[in-house]
Structure 1
């Protein structure tokens, strides 16, 4: 059986056993899920530096990829910033494909079989996620975690947007934020002497000489393979491994599963640096004239293992005044606000003002739609930004010193003075990620950016943003390169590089 058909059939069989009432809706959602994942895959095939794509030819009726084995792959003109599923089929020589997994399997490229299986699971899990949705309410949520649970389709550009290998249907329903469960985090007791602790670990998570480390139930069952004492009821957020405790902090748990691209554990190094990074980021945010808040790391602990660790963070809701809402950028589509060109321009101006200011000072945020949140007024006007999760920022000692900013004691990949690395981190996440995802198309992104950059300080970083191709992580190339460590990059056409950006035209 074909990998895509196998994944879809497997989910259907499991669903019949655990939630039979969703079976018909799941089947009805499959065609749309295939198109959504195929659209993401087509973006990668048309723009990433894949070694087996030897040429790309634009024609009146679309784009043709020349493959190293002599075959041709034809599809519609690509818009690398589109979030709507506009690709319903592509043609490999004379064979039409409407599913991403069969296409990847038939391409027969190195490591393609494993990736095809992931794509099949992405389609099946996406259909499952869509099948379980209630009618959309026009009323805005009262809690931040409810905004996060409105993000049904996952990453707007990654073909593995909903791939959750290792999770059964029952586990997806029990732990996936889009299914709106309450998750019971376990508490694993570990002697203090065996732990690395940063910040202040709360007394309520101590038992004499032991720390009680929050553990995700999937992690306890599949990785630690030991039961954890009942502990904390919480609501899962977009990342699945981070959960909101009602009236309390956000708890980032170790979750050693491959979700989208990465294995979700918590490195010992990140625990060691967490308190230093948190204090540094808080002091740096003070230089943005109140336009940015960074959620503080309250405490972090690890039993000297990436598989047993947790980070306690301040809730972004702490930065909302009465009547305001804190909305993750990835959830903006649920508000209806990005549909206004004026709103998009205002939001882009706010985000670029903050991002470029920090970059000039020496810090590149990984400001994608999950890490970046916007505080909006009761009428929806963008007021301020909130940033969370400092593990993947980049810090330039040279830039900090040039501006008289004390250099924190940091080590490892967080520290770099390489201009390309710094710009890739910010531009790839904020512009080609968060802003593009909110805009939903190249034309809408172009219009918002053109207005937003007019009043920004003219710095070398802004010059690069205006004139050079936009960097973006080559997510599919990375999945097809299991022996290559670190990020790999692609370049997307820059909407600001032309006076008129005609997305999707030859």
Structure 2
């Protein structure tokens, strides 16, 4: 019986036709890529509320997961905050699995087949990213996109860290930031009367009574399936769909494919809310004593379709002073900051001070390592923060009113007074996401938090952070529950209590 080629073999075959000299390096990167994705998957199996895991038992020999069907899965003890690929194999009823896609196929749980395919693609794309990414020069970059293109491995905890379904190898080289391409954006002219436009739209993206909406080339070829007029040249950032125009704005384009968890488009709702949200956020940053800047949304437009829309934002580069650097928190590994306990604690102190103050006022940031940027001194010390992309924050009118702040005139998913939802949004993205990703392990995260917490705002939210488990998005559960809308959550062991018992769950 003929079997289709595996994702690894398919990428190897395409690579052989495009850049045959990279094939040996790609093959050499595959074992490490499998371990990196398997480590992320094992974290999920160990800590997420997956309904087909009946019992978890931790001991000196590692972690045993008793499945609902009676089988047993064994592996090492799982540090939920570790980023190094320490899981090279796990054992299902004694059989070893070093490939995350093969493991999930063998588990045969509901919706496993589709997710296994995504994991296979994540492994192959991660190996390709590592093989094809140029070695960064020794000097720190000065241009914003160069920092972002140094982040090769993607999301530190999602098994789909590099899954790019629908992208050929040629398209990954052409559009993936780690390969450092220059991308020629397209534009689609649409009559202004047929568009929803908020904010200002620049003259260079107008043609008489028409708006020229920037379009990603992949979107033009695979979704719109129509030719575009040439637009500006730009450098892709970490999210792939957002690109930096040299000397100009960051352009967030619609990109209707699934990267990690979500299909990437731009909703009509987010375009309609963007100007109000940007003005409100700017007023909040004015209250932050210089600790936080928020990039302004310059303009947003949609042809009343999430597949044809764009958002223009100012570059975070404007917030870096002479001799300073501004970079996403996810790129801090390239600065040596994670190796300095004092600087890691300073980052935790700065981010928690800003995050908890805003949360007390009534705004929960989605402060993961991509949205949250830090301004470093020339010596590498964290000075202040920059936040971008307001599309997924949460706003509490009740809390704002309690502090004498007029709530913005917004409705819909951005607005909630639910306290657990507000705390999950901030703690899950900032502590379990950005800070954990920089720290790289539970012990390092605990040390940074223990040093920082005495100096941050003493709020009820801080007490909740100290006392309970740490919320984190249940990323694998969400991929295995495609019909369940919205975020789902896991409760991770509190990093401040490393000896917390996680057995017999």
1:3: Cα distance to partner? 9.5
Aligned residue number for residue 309 of structure 1: 309
How far does residue 286 in structure 1 lie from its aligned partner after superposition?
1.2
Aligned to 1:417: 417
Q: Which residue of 1 aligns with 2:438?
A: 438
Shift of 1:377: 0.4
* 1:226-237 pair list within 5 angstroms: 226-237=226-237
On the 8 A contact 1:4/1:119 being kept in 2, the answer is no
Quote how far apart the aligned CAs of 1:455 are: 1.6
Structure 2 segments unaligned to the other structure (5+ residues): none
Please show how residues 126-137 of structure 1 align to structure 2 within 5 Å. 126-137=126-137
Are 1:9 and 2:12 counterparts? no
CA distance in 2, matches of 1:115, 1:187: 34
Q: Is the 8 A contact 2:58 2:502 kept in 1?
A: no
Q: Aligned ranges for residues 389-468 of structure 1 at < 5 Å? A: 389-468=389-468
Aligned residue in 2 for 1:482: 482
Measure the CA separation in 1 of the matches of 2:457 and 2:450.
Answer: 14
Residue 2 and residue 447 in structure 1: after superposition, are their counterparts in 2 closer, same or farther (change >3 A)?
farther
Secondary structure of the residue aligned to 2:299 is strand
2:291 counterpart of 1:291: yes
TM-score (norm 2): 0.98
1:355 maps to: 355
- Check whether the contact 2:100–2:116 (CA below 8 A) recurs between aligned residues: yes
Spell out, residue by residue over 1:116-168, the C-alpha distance to the aligned partner (whole angstroms, 9 max, x if none): 01000000000000001223422101111000000000000000000000000
- Maintained 8 Å contact 2:37/2:119: yes
* Equivalent pair of 2:195/2:301 in contact (CA under 8 Å): yes
2:253 and 2:495 map into 1 onto residues whose CA distance is 38
Deviates most, 127-136 or 355-364: 127-136
Pick closer, same or farther for the CA change 1:455–1:95 going to 2, 3 Å: same
Matching of residues 39-78 of structure 1 within 5 Å: 39-78=39-78
Cα offsets for 1:195-238 (capped at 9, x unmatched): 00000000110000100000000000000000110111000000
> Residues 146 and 502 (structure 1 numbering): CA distance in 2 closer, same or farther, change over 3 Å?
farther
Q: 1:267 and 2:243 equivalent?
A: no
Match of 1:186 in 2: 186
C-alpha contact 1:442 1:501 (8 A) present in aligned 2: no
SS at match of 1:288: coil
SS of residue matched to 1:349: helix
CA displacement 1:167-216 (0-9 Å, x = unmatched): 00000010000010000000110001100000000011000010000000
Seen in structure 2, the aligned counterparts of structure 1 residues 502 and 182 have a Cα distance that, compared at 3 Å, is farther
In structure 2, what is the equivalent of residue 495 of structure 1? 495
Map of 1:221 onto structure 2: 221
Match of 1:382 in 2: 382
| CA deviation string 1:276-309 (max 9, x = no partner) | 0000000011111110000000000000000000
2:365 paired with 1:365: yes
> Structure 1 residues 103, 396: CA separation in 2 closer, same or farther (over 3 Å shift)?
same
- Residue 436 of structure 1 aligns to a residue whose secondary structure is helix
Are 1:208 and 2:208 matched, yes or no?
yes
* Aligned twin of 2:319: 319
**Inter-CA distance 90–324: structure 2 relative to 1 (3 Å threshold):** same
Three-state SS of the structure 1 residue aligned to 2:138 is coil
Moved over 3 A (4+): 1-5, 500-504
Kindly state the Cα deviation for residue 419 of structure 1 after the two structures are TM-superposed: 0.2
CA contact (8 A) 1:443 1:502 kept: no
Superposition map of 1:52-131 within 5 A:
52-131=52-131
Change (3 A) 1:4 1:326: farther
Contact 1:5 1:120 in 2 (8 A): no
Matched positions, count: 504
Distance in 2 between residues matched to 1:4 and 1:235, nearest whole Å: 35
CA offsets per residue over residues 349-401 of structure 1, 9 Å max, x none? 00000000000000000000000000000001100000000000000000000
